[in-house]
């Protein structure tokens, strides 16, 4: 699953605005928009997104519901 698909699923299921997600994950409110416009994420960004999504799911009991 691509990083952008994973982020889109997360945002849909949590109803979190893309700018808030970017700010929380990498302190960049334009992250999601930039990715949609072709920005290529480095390994650090990919790791931070994966860690944030996993932690958020664990803390909020969403893992089974979201399927991410």
pTM (two decimals): 0.84
pLDDT > 70? residue 66: no
pLDDT > 60? residue 51: yes
Burial of 43 (0-12, 13-18, 19+ CB in 10 A): exposed
pLDDT > 80? residue 6: yes
């Amino acid at each position: 699953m691509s990083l952008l698909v994973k982020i889109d699923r997360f945002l849909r299921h949590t109803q979190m605005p893309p700018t808030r997600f970017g700010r929380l994950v990498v302190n960049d409110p334009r992250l999601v928009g930039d990715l949609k416009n072709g920005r290529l994420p480095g390994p650090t960004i990919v790791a931070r997104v994966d860690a944030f999504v996993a932690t958020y799911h664990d803390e909020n009991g969403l893992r089974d519901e979201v399927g991410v």
